[in-house]
Amino acid sequence: DIQMTQSPSSLSASVGDRVTITCRASQGIDNYLAWYQQKPGKVPKLLIYAASTLQSGVPSRFSGSGSGTYFTLTISSLQPEDVATYYCQKFNSVPLAFGGGTKVEIK
Amino acid sequence: QVQLVQSGAEVKRPGSSVKVSCKADGGTFSGHSINWVRQAPGQGLEWMGRIIPIISVTNFTQKFQGRVTINADRSTNTAYMELRGLRSEDTGVYYCARGVSPGGLDFWGQGTLITVSS
């Protein structure tokens, strides 16, 4: 099975900072990757699908890129409401594994 | 828009089974998949498996193969996930979520807390 590895596992940044989270697949998955945001105590929310397509209603400060085995989620200007754990998930074939998550906090 | 409404929290004994339901309110399954995702306390998201109701196809991650059943009743737009042989490490929140093409889980149920304890 293809493994999904996120880094870092946690980060702390200041409001307004540019934040980048990485997700690596152990084998190529084309662009079949989604990103989610999960705020504490809440249900996960789809942010990005097909590696770079923003889900409707998601603020434009979120962006995704990558293909094959290397993907990134970028928050261009971190806001207090972005405090959450972020997960990637592969969709090229089953099992649809998640990455381990990246916890984002405000410094 | 569709809402996924799950059954309520349960406490189960080790070795027993649990069945969680997920009803699509305000919509149908159509051609979408219904996925089941587990989250142990303080841990990340774990994909368990899915069903594509329109063609009755199921897929599972190997970890749960043989211990989980997923089915769906298209007449009531309700999906079910049954987990057998419960152990303490099965404690967690179980989510259902709708899968869409080309990939992504766009609508999620509210989650069902399953506690396995003697």
- Region A68-97: mean pLDDT is 98
Q: Report CB contact under 8 Å: A87, B35.
A: no
pLDDT for position A99: 98
Does residue A49 belong to the interface with chain B, where contact is any CB pair within 8 Å? yes
Chain A hits for B36, CB-CB cut-off 8 Å, are none
Quick: pLDDT tens for B46-79. Answer: 999 999 999 999 999 999 989 999 999 999 999 9
pLDDT for position B1: 80
**pLDDT at B30 > cutoff 80:** no
The Cα–Cα gap between B31 and B118 comes to 40
Q: Report CB contact under 8 Å: B102, A91.
A: yes
The SS3 call for residue B4 is strand
The Cα–Cα gap between A16 and A23 comes to 22
Q: Report CB contact under 8 Å: A34, B45.
A: no
Percent of chain A whose predicted confidence (pLDDT) is above 70: 100
**Of chain A residues 11-30, which have a CB less than 8 A from chain B?**
none
Quick: pLDDT tens for A42-80. Answer: 999 999 999 999 999 999 999 999 999 999 999 999 999
Q: Which of B47, B50, B106 sits opposite A46 (nearest CB)?
A: B106
The Cα–Cα gap between B66 and A34 comes to 28
- Region A72-94: mean pLDDT is 98
